[in-house]
Amino acid sequence: MDLITELTILALAAFVGFEVISKVPNSLHTPLMSATNAIHGIVLLGGILVIGEADGLLSKVLLVIAIAFGTINVVGGFLVTDRMLEMFKVRPKPDEDA
């Protein structure tokens, strides 16, 4: 893929990101942040792509750490976001409860 195509994708995705995320209400900003942390874990792909061609112990160690970091973001981010969002509920009025 050439640079111009990539920059085009980058610019368009930035606009989509702004449009979608600016609609998230203040009350959900903490789960939004942890969900975006999880999406950031996509750097994991970078580690996977590079490690196959890496030579030398140091490069391999760096990349195993990078993959581990990315995985922490992915699994930790999605799990903790799920834990939080599970708690966000609209409670029925107390009188309907009784």
Partner 1 sequence: MPLPLASLLTNASFIQILYIVAFVLFIVGMRQVTGPKTARRGNATAAVGMAIAVIATLLTPTVGEYALIALGIVLGTVVGVPAARKVQMTQMPQMVAMFNGVGGGAVALISWAEYRHSLDVGTGNPPLDTLIPILFAAIIGSVSFWGSNIAFGKLQDLIPQKPISVPGQQVLNAVLLVVAIGAAVAIAFGQESQGLFILILVAAAGLGNMVVLPIGGADMPVVISLLNALTGLSAAAAGIALNNVALIVGGIIVGASGTILTNLMAVAMNRSIPNIVAGGFGGGGGGGGGDDGEERPHRSTDAASVAIALTQADQVVVAPGYGLAVAQAQHTVRELGDELEKRGVEVKYAIHPVAGRMPGHMNVLLAEADVSYDALKEMDEINPEFETTNVTLVIGANDVTNPSARDVEDSPIYGMPILDVDKSEAVVVFKRSMGTGFAGIDNPLFYEENTEMLLGDAKQSVNDVLAAVKEL
Rounded least distance, CB 5 to partner 1, Å: 9
Side chain identity, residue 44: L
Binding to partner 1 (CB under 8 A) within 58-97 occurs at 58-60, 62-91, 94
C-alpha dist (Å) from residue 45 to 48, 68, 71, 92: 5, 11, 10, 43
Number of residues that bind partner 1 (CB under 8 A): 83
Distance, CA of 38 to CA of 19 (rounded, Å): 20
Binding to partner 1 (CB under 8 A) within 21-60 occurs at 21-56, 58-60
Rounded least distance, CB 7 to partner 1, Å: 8
